[in-house]
Chain A
């Protein structure tokens, strides 16, 4: 699971008012090289929840993103490269996504999150 995906996942357990962002428990993180595409990053930037991304990257062992970001930073190649790496090249292969309100863990196996709810959570 890439952090681009994590940035659009939330906990939908019954009764939870804000299930975003999910915390990450990382057991196995893999880095996969992806072609650098600055235009894509600039288009994506306004749609990202930045703090969630920065925190998630830190959970995967990458602390190079600033805690806050604004559009002017997109002029910096260095910033774009860090964004690229965090958003697209870090993969959570094994671990869990944790509901911020209930603590319920959604397992991630072989890079695929299982977001199915149990009977009592629906």
Chain B
């Protein structure tokens, strides 16, 4: 397992966040004139109690639903159902679920967290509670991933054509395009995200470098060998067919390209295990339903897939300890007055996602859920 030294002299570039861009949800609901301000004062007991009450009601309901669904309807996580829908149909249902989830939730996320929709990378002794520090941590995550994968900094060797798979509202796309002065394409299933990504990109003066398409990561609309950096930051979790996903990443990668996957996984299985423990599976299933995730895999599964495709320099690391402050920070932001009211205004899908957050923390604590990075190089 690779350890990242907290005293290493990593450098990171703070992304320029244009102060004139108003998040669209603010425009829609609160009118112009308010910026994307960080939430303040999140130790509010009253709201915490309301949320806990709703959480208990939700758990009761979801336990009943799980019992019902295991005997009749197809489930997103495709684990314990007796009815097996055609895989293509299930996949289409999953894809539209993912698109709808992000169409509904993205505005709220951006309001509070900004344009990076991924975990921050923290030192083990992290103790700040400021949201701007979390944003720095999200930027550090990008830099640490590039460093881990040994993406060349040398201007003669740096990437010139980058692909961001599961690009969200383009935080990584813009950051990478700026950092390497490169062209970047981003793909997402969510039309709303693509529009928002494009608007932010234009507002930040990067429209000549970064473009977005609505496309499926499992069936990418690019010919072979196009990109010299293929980037998947916390999108792998949504891919129902990991083999197809990895195959596509490799197909569109140019000779010599670097492929970086940063993703939630379940823990690696020991040699004697055929699967996770039952209670681990149940925990993951609840999370799957809320976040439109198909069945989880492990980092080892990714490594095996990449090795089977004859990729070079395949590396993996468990970064769970470096992301542990993240979910508590997200929960705290949801418990602020602003976060809570905004949640109520979005919709059930987003709320369900929010209510499931304690399960993510539980999963990390139990060692069931891991935050992994896997990288490799395509041979020349």
Contact = CB atoms under 8 A, between A and B. Distances in A.
| B is a partner of A | yes
14 contacts: A2-B211, A9-B213, A9-B221, A12-B219, A12-B220, A43-B160, A47-B161, A111-B198, A112-B194, A112-B198, A112-B214, A113-B213, A115-B216, A119-B92
Interface of A: 1-2, 4-5, 8-12, 20, 32, 34-35, 43, 47, 88, 106, 110-117, 119, 122
B221 A112 contact: no
B279 interface: no
Contacts of A1: 211
B195 interface: yes
A5 B88 contact: no
Nearest to A114: B214
Nearest to A32: B207
A116 B95 CA distance: 10
Interface of B: 88-89, 91-92, 95, 160-161, 183, 185, 187, 189, 191, 194-195, 198, 207-208, 211-216, 219-223, 226
Given A5-B185, A110-B195, A116-B189, A10 B223 contact: yes
B365 to A, nearest CB: 37
B101 to A, nearest CB: 16
A110 B198 contact: yes
Given A112-B213, A113-B213, A114-B191, A12 B221 contact: yes
Contact of A8 (B216, B219, B226): B226
B212 A112 contact: yes
A20 B226 CA distance: 13
Contacts of A110: 195, 198
A117 B217 CA distance: 11
B223 A8 contact: yes
Given A8-B185, A9-B221, A112-B195, A122 B214 contact: no
Chain A CB within 10 A, most for which of B95, B185, B211, B226: B211
A19 B360 CA distance: 42
A7 to B, nearest CB: 10
B208 A35 contact: yes
A84 B49 CA distance: 59
A106 B307 CA distance: 35
